[in-house]
Amino acid sequence: MSTVRGLLRLTRPDNWAIAAFAVVAGALTGPDPIAIWTPVIRAALVAVLFTAGGMVLNDVTDVEIDRVNKAYRPLPSEMVSRSAAIVWTVVLLGMGVAVLIPLPPVCRWIAFGSLGAIIIYDLWGSRQPLIGNLIVAVVTGLAFLLGGLAIGHGLWGAIPGVLTTFFILGREIIKDLEDMEADRQEGLRTLPLVAGEAKARSVARVVLTILILLLTIPAITGWMNLPYLLVMVPGVGFPVLMIVVRLASQQDETVYRRMQRFLKWDMLAGLLAIMLG
């Protein structure tokens, strides 16, 4: 049973749940109601399986790093063997490809492109300054586009996708700030270690400030309605602004951890606003 729990933990259920909600939110972002839910459910399942497989692959490639700062995870704690995790990765990604095939060609291109980016991130990008952060941000944003295209709503899903890309990029940089000491011991080249903590904080502040400025545009232009604005501004805009203010000064690892975890769950407020919009 410990192995089964370990395999489930490797998939990071909170991450793939958010991916599934992002697809659904992207499908709901359009001028017409959803008449048939089958393509949406299929696209959401693809997002779940690809995200879960990517999470497992990430733990496989980062097991030595996790021994330093996240020894509680299934692989460094030996709850799951590395070989079992590799097999689990193949199973999850293989199932994702099988579920993906019946979707429209454009959805297949987006999904396969995202999968390729995930693999590049896990094998190489996560160790490069800013590149890994951008990959995670763009792939997350593409989940909204996938949902919109799966149901035939065109590029409407790109609207929340762009907002999410900035949101995730800011959070990923803060996460690198949190992991500075462990990443330094492993010789990684994250943005804070290459450019310095102060510059990394500045980049995160710029990214999140742009996000705040973009949040109101969908409502002002008529792409989203008033309920979107009423949830998005207080639910995402104000909390992100508070983080931007705190990033003006140096913080310790504990504060950075709280920031990035808060942003992770605050994304649910953004998803709710998009669904209501």
Q: What is the pLDDT of residues 188-199, one digit of tens each?
A: 789 999 999 999
130: helix, coil or strand?
coil
Chain segment 145-169, per-residue pLDDT in tens: 999 999 888 788 888 899 999 999 9
- We report the CATH number of the domain holding residue 236 as 1.10.357.140
Work out the percent of the chain whose per-residue pLDDT is above 70: 99
Determine the longest span between alpha carbons in the chain, in angstroms: 53
Provide the pLDDT for residue 38: 93
Look at residue 31 and tell me whether its pLDDT is greater than 80: no
Provide the pLDDT for residue 143: 94
How high is the mean pLDDT of the chain?
90
Mean pLDDT for the stretch of residues 28-36: 79
Mean pLDDT for the stretch of residues 250-258: 91
| Between 88 and 128, residue with greater pLDDT | 88
Mean pLDDT for the stretch of residues 94-113: 95
Burial letters 245-255, b for 16+ CB under 10 A, else e: eebeeebeeee
Domain coverage including residue 265: 2-276
Which residues fall within 8 angstroms of residue 24, CB to CB, at 6 or more apart?
A: 40, 44, 147, 275
Chain segment 134-144, per-residue pLDDT in tens: 999 999 999 99
How big is the CA angle at 177 (ends 172 and 181), to the nearest 5 degrees?
A: 130
129: helix, coil or strand?
coil
Work out the percent of the chain whose per-residue pLDDT is above 90: 58
Provide the pLDDT for residue 3: 82
| Between 22 and 78, residue with greater pLDDT | 22
Domain tally, the chain: 1
Residue 156 has what DSSP assignment? G
Provide the pLDDT for residue 2: 56
Provide the pLDDT for residue 1: 52
Provide the pLDDT for residue 259: 93
> CB of 84 within 8 A of CB of 70?
no
Distance of CA 126 to the CA centre of its chain: 13
